[in-house]
Structure 1
Amino acid sequence: MLLLALLLTIEFPFRFASPEIPLVLIEVGVNEGRPMIAVLDTGQGVSPLLLSDVQAKQLGIAYREEDRVANTFGIGPNSGPRIYKARIQSMRLGGQTLPAMDIGVTDALRPIAEAIEQPLSANLGYLFLKDYTLVLNYRSKVVLLSSNALTKGTSFTLGSRKPLAIIEGRINGQGPYRFAVDTGASNSVLSQTLAQRLMLPHGIPVPVMGASGSSAGYMTKVQNFDIAGRRFADFTFATGDFFDAMSAAAGATVDGVLGANAFQDAVLTIDYPNRRLSITQP
């Protein structure tokens, strides 16, 4: 799998779930099945591909209760999502057919599908992306996976337990604070504890949707947000109360999540092998 990944350049389109919910949705195929909708999710570090339990049943992919993955984390008030180890014979992506791989099967995609009001059958995550440089062009809506190294950019670290890409940023000149880069987040999120410490405004209440349900939060705005060599003015965050649990799951302090509103009309490049990241204008 690693050798094949390094030899391939894969390019394919994506779309947003909706203008209001800019989740990155792509098409993948499993075994001989029809193309299905998947979210491209750098924040998912459990399995190369998570497949919905409904889709697994339709494809005849077997899994057992004793193959449940332990210690999973998901945003929301419920316990971690149920994920079971399974195996597929092939995956199709961007016109390429990739060989057999271990995957996960879960019911955690159901609430997300309900929130975006459309089918969602899979989640392509870090353990697949980790051998590539990932280029997401949010303006042209094209994904490129290649072996090309990113020569400039910001260094990032990975959580020791959950492999989140974490970079440092400053809010209103204060910090640095640590943000997990998550293409599966439709908006950036800030720890409520940090928002209160920085005396940020308390805006409208909003639910923060995750794999374990929704967490109560509210919107806030900062005057300046400096991250990855860019300065965002009047940048909006949702807030969440789950960052202690996220930090424990990641094995690293996480103060916020960098989501889609940071990448709007930009090109997000993540060089996983060399652990460098950039956000640039196309």
Structure 2
Amino acid sequence: MNFPFDAEYRLIVIPARIIGPKGSVGLNFAIDTGATNTLLSRKIAEKLGFDLDSTTKKVILVTASREESAPIISINTIEALGQKVLNHSAICHNLPPGLNIHGLLGLNFFRDKKLTIDFRLGEINLE
């Protein structure tokens, strides 16, 4: 199935649904094939009931100005581009303001799938 996106916008933004310990929410995610892992906003993760302070799995992120420790969570369910993935690993970190997205879909979401992005038509397909 093909899903439309705005090929003129600086990011490929698609709708996604996250199910966490305290409910579910529809969000906007940017596709980032350069990111190894999916990233979810800390604020959204906390609203969904993830306890980020007690998470033992962490990763060190290198930003332009410093290194930061970020928790890794297991998202109960993530649905995007017609796919449903259970127990999906995601890094929780704040995103720069002004992007109007809640996270990044990284390569761990696309592994073992065929991803086609057609900029001429403004369509994306994942199978």
CA offsets 1:12-53 (integer angstroms, 9 cap, x no match): xxxxxxxxxxxxxxxxxxxxxxxxxxxxxxxxxxxxxxxxxx
TM-score by length of 1: 0.40
Change (3 A) 1:186 1:164: same
Q: Which residue of 2 aligns with 1:189?
A: 39
Q: CA deviation at 1:260?
A: 0.7
Query: Which runs of 5 or more structure 2 residues have no equivalent in the other structure?
Result: none
Aligned twin of 1:175: 25
8 A contact 2:7–2:119 mirrored in 1: no
Match of 2:75 in 1: 222
Relative to the length of structure 2, the TM-score reads 0.83
- Cα shift readout 1:104-139 (whole Å, capped 9, x = no counterpart): xxxxxxxxxxxxxxxxxxxxxxxxxxxxxxxxxxxx
Q: Please say if residues 28 and 103 of structure 2, whose CA atoms lie closer than 8 Å, have aligned partners that are also in contact.
A: yes
> Is 1:239 aligned to residue 92 of structure 2?
yes
- 1:275 offset after TM fit, Å? 1.6
1:155 corresponds to 2:4: yes
Q: For residues 48-73 of structure 1, what are the alpha-carbon distances to aligned partners after superposition, in whole Å with 9 as ceiling and x for unaligned? A: xxxxxxxxxxxxxxxxxxxxxxxxxx
**What is the deviation of 1:159?**
7.8
More strand by proportion, 1 or 2? 2
> Residues 211 and 186 from structure 1, CA distance in 2 versus in 1: closer, same or farther, beyond 3 angstroms?
farther
Task: Say how many residue pairs are matched.
Answer: 121
Q: 1:275 aligns with which of 117, 122, 127?
A: 122
For the Cα contact (< 8 Å) 2:7–2:120, is it kept in 1? no
Q: C-alpha displacement at 1:274, in angstroms?
A: 1.7
Q: Which has the higher contact order (CA 8 A, sep 6+)?
A: 2
RMSD: 2.1
1:270 is aligned with what amino acid? I
Structure 1 position 206, deviation (Å): 1.4
